[in-house]
Amino acid sequence: MFDTLGADIYKTWSDDQRKDEIAKLVAGYRSGLTLQIVFQMASAIAGSPESAREILATLITAEERHLIVGRLKGEEQTLAASFLM
């Protein structure tokens, strides 16, 4: 049930609105929000993990993405790499 929370609303949003909302998630990450929540919510807002990856790539520099993935270990690193690399 909670996996699709808001999915119907997100479908009505423009691409710019989706990008703006995902940008807020990125800002939240920089303030302490967990990456798992960022990735889950970004996927829901964007409509798919693939679309979320594209938007995240425009919002986070390649250097920062590499730093994020590099400092993680195990499953967290694998998840981050799948979204950021």
Look at the block and give the residue holding tokens 């950021």.
84
pLDDT tens digits, 3-44: 566 677 888 899 999 999 999 999 999 999 999 999 999 999
Q: Cβ–Cβ contacts within 10 Å for residue 32, how many? A: 6
How large a percentage of the chain has pLDDT more than 70? 93
Token pair belonging to 59 = 């919002």
Per residue, what are the HEC states of 29-57? HHCCCCHHHHHHHHHHHHCCHHHHHHHHH
**How many Å is the Cα radius of gyration of the chain?**
12
Where are the domains positioned within the chain? 2-84
